[in-house]
Amino acid sequence: MSKTLNIALIGPGKVAHNHARSVLETPNTKLVAIYGRNHTKADEFADQYGIAAYSDIYDMVDRENVDICIVCTPHPAHRVVTVAAFEAGANVLVEKPLASSLEDCDAMIEAARKANRQLAVVSQRRFYEPCMRIRQAIDDGKIGKPVLGMAQLFGWRSEEYYRSDPWRGSWEHEGGGVLVNQAPHQLDLLLWYMGEMEEVYGVWANLNHPNIEVDDTAVAIVKFKNGGIGNVIVSNSQKPGLYGRVHIHGQNGASVGVQTDGGSMFIAGMTSIQDAPYNDIWSVPEEADMQPVWKAGDDAVFNSVDSSSHYFSRQLADFCQAINEGRKPLVTGEEGRKVVALFEAIYESTRTNQPVRLSS
């Protein structure tokens, strides 16, 4: 029988509510506490969920016997609170991206190693059925070696969005724009499918958001160590937004893909209801006819759950199982670091107008 793990949240912001619901959905977990520098927000959050509020991470982990801290703060704050949680003795699941710099990523990974604890990074779209299906097809050799990949995100963020949280839209407080905040889901899937990067050439721009400092659009070409190449186009400049997609083409000519995001969730002024993810291309021999069958099943699953928390719950369950079994979770700190390496390389390539080689 699996041990029940005590879960605490760090940061009482908007995404923390999704994680709170995910804990309540996940077997053998118990939500016990919230940490926040803003005492009023932390107390309000604690009252809503019937848990304790703390202003000291070490005290919280000790008093509540916390097994896992879920970090929900703005990206540049991830390092400080994550290191503190490890020093206090907890395992840590960090919201994407792992951090806004490789220096911070490395400090967090080292803190986990020193504490002999597990570090995982939120990437709940890996747990979408269509995304798992692609990885399984690659692992089973159905497309041969992945040789060409594409990650796209065409969304929209309004001026009201940036005004709603003062940390958004600046290099100091957000660490970047669409590359750092919205695109990590698609970037992570691209790297999960294609493997280790070798070289990146990219450029970012701010096309139609004069109220922010950071990128709303970025384009890149990625060379992979397996000899494959990839293309990244991500933007928050489409009104209404369109979709997020990742497509992978194999050496044997077969192609697989997923639309991870689309529909009403991307339309300004609409609710957060989104279209179910689905495999939008699939040319694996003898499986192309399965697309409508899979889509019907995937739609049924997606529409039967609270998608804002269910896939967080699936990832949390994997993390808990990894801790109990002494194995690595699906999305480790090292995996999360790769996404940061990619967007940091795009920023550096824009600055130098040169390709950036990734260290091994």
What SS3 class is residue 6?
strand
- Report, as an integer, the average pLDDT of 70-74: 97
Query: 90 — phi, psi (to 5°)?
Result: -95, 160
Instruction: Judge if 221 and 347 occupy the same domain.
Output: yes
| pLDDT > 90 fraction of the chain, expressed in percent and rounded | 89
* Domain end marker among 56, 89, 117: 117
pTM of the predicted model over 0.85: yes
Give per-residue pLDDT as tens, 81-133: 999 999 999 999 999 999 999 999 999 999 999 999 999 999 999 999 999 99
Apex CA 237: angle with CA 309 and CA 335, to 5°? 45
Does 343 reside within a domain?
A: yes
Instruction: Judge if 113 and 148 occupy the same domain.
Output: no
Does 298 reside within a domain?
A: yes
* Domain end marker among 99, 117, 135: 117
Print the domain residue range for 253: 126-305+338-357
* Joined tokens for residue 280: 């939008």
Instruction: Judge if 91 and 158 occupy the same domain.
Output: no
Instruction: Judge if 182 and 153 occupy the same domain.
Output: yes
Does 172 reside within a domain?
A: yes
Give the C-alpha separation, 196 to 142, whole Å: 20
* pLDDT of res. 49: 98
Instruction: Judge if 239 and 292 occupy the same domain.
Output: yes
CATH of the domain at 233: 3.30.360.10
Give the C-alpha separation, 288 to 350, whole Å: 40
What is the domain count for the chain?
2
CATH of the domain at 39: 3.40.50.720
Instruction: Judge if 16 and 143 occupy the same domain.
Output: no
Give per-residue pLDDT as tens, 138-185: 999 999 999 999 999 999 998 998 988 888 999 988 999 999 999 999
